[in-house]
Homo-oligomer: A and B are copies of this chain.
Amino acid sequence: MSIRSQKKFNPEDDLGFGSQPVIKSQPLIKQDGSINVKRRGLSFFHTEDNYHTLITMSWTKFWLLVLTCYAILNIVFAFIYMTIGVNHLNGSEGTTPYQQFWDAFFFSAQTISTVGYGHISPSGMATNSVAALESLMGLLAFALATGLLYGRFSKPSAKIVYSKNLLIAPYLETCQGLMFRLANMRRNILIDLEIEIIFSYNEDVNGKPVRRFFQLEVERRKVSILTLNWTVVHPLDENSPLKDMTPDDLKNTQATFAILLRAFDDTFAQTVHSRTSYQFENMVWGAKFKPAFDRDDDGRIVLDLSRISEFTNVELPSPKPPLNLPQ
């Protein structure tokens, strides 16, 4: 395998990735865009990270957590009211401890939610004080819930669909290009999109594999607005670090293509990011994408997101194999 040294070649820590070789099943960026690195030494309790967790957890987990906290808080306060004495809850008619617990429990629920029907009401300093604190706590807890719900909804997110395959397709008259396609899955409008392709592979340095990273040049790095789909093209010309690599090279060196997309969400005035990665087995030699849109009866364009990955096989322009065999 021969890769020419070039100025984009950085020996270490290029693009924030390390130089550790990558085992096939463990690329640094996974196909869903998440980062495949474990970290040790994170402090267990960290406010911002808790917020981060609460904002990014699934809705099911979030609602279960809210319900659980509500139940636990009411149980705790029910025991406090029982400890002080249920006789301080005017209107409570429970006689057994079991009944008294539920009276205290529901009084607590009515207090923490500030409903306060009043058929059970506190009397005495202690019970009144606890009830006053509980209602304050309830208000603050729901202030928190308001913030969390808003944070969950308004957090920036892009939902981009990428073609399943990375094609080696004919490009211009005599050239080939590495191509993939993407479209916006959501109703918001994306503006000022910017793409980055980072190609990485293991290189043999004195018998020890070292991970190398290249930023591939793309035909068009930015688009102003994404109305339909966007086909990103890396021309396989003489400047490409892929120029002299064979399919086998790509396979043996655990080649990975990390895709980083940045865009501006017009509805929420936020910069959003999306990431994905392609492995060797996602590549198809000699294929081009089929158009993913039609016209309806009014002549209006209809983009079909389910056809974003569709391609047809084509013959590549050059007589030689898509990538040279090693000389």
**A90-B119 contact given A153-B147, A230-B16, A302-B37, CB 8 Å threshold:** yes
Instruction: Indicate if A84 sits at the interface (CB-CB under 8 A).
Output: no
Which residue of B has the minimal Cβ distance to A172?
B11
Interface membership of chain A positions 279-300, coded 1 if the CB is closer than 8 angstroms to chain B and 0 otherwise: 0000000000001010110111
Instruction: Indicate if A240 sits at the interface (CB-CB under 8 A).
Output: no
Say whether A186 contacts B132, CB under 8 Å. Answer: no
How many A residues, CB 8 Å from partner?
Answer: 126
Say whether B37 contacts A301, CB under 8 Å. Answer: yes
User: Which chain A residues numbered 19 to 55 have a C-beta less than 8 Å away from chain B?
Assistant: 20, 23, 25-26, 28-29, 35-43, 46-49, 51-53, 55
Say whether A185 contacts B43, CB under 8 Å. Answer: yes
- Which of A201-209, A241-249, A264-272, A313-321 makes up part of the contact surface? A264-272
Which residue of B has the minimal Cβ distance to A267?
B52
Which residue of B has the minimal Cβ distance to A135?
B113
Which residue of B has the minimal Cβ distance to A265?
B269
**A146-B135 contact given A37-B227, A46-B186, CB 8 Å threshold:** no
Say whether A186 contacts B144, CB under 8 Å. Answer: no
User: Which chain A residues numbered 65 to 112 have a C-beta less than 8 Å away from chain B?
Assistant: 66-67, 70, 74, 90, 102, 106, 109-111
A146-B146, A198-B224 are known contacts; what are 5 more A-B pairs with Cβ within 8 Å? A26-B300, A35-B189, A37-B227, A38-B300, A143-B150
Per assembly, the copies of the chain total 4
Interface residues of A (CB under 8 A from B): 10, 12-18, 20, 23, 25-26, 28-29, 35-43, 46-49, 51-53, 55-56, 59, 66-67, 70, 74, 90, 102, 106, 109-111, 113-123, 125, 128-129, 131-132, 135-136, 138-140, 142-151, 153-157, 159, 185-189, 191-193, 196, 198, 215, 220, 223-231, 260, 262, 264, 266-273, 291, 293, 295-296, 298-307
- Taken together as a complex, chains A and B put the C-alpha atoms of A102 and B227 apart, in Å, by 51
**A300-B48 contact given A10-B220, A149-B140, A267-B56, CB 8 Å threshold:** no
Say whether B128 contacts A113, CB under 8 Å. Answer: no
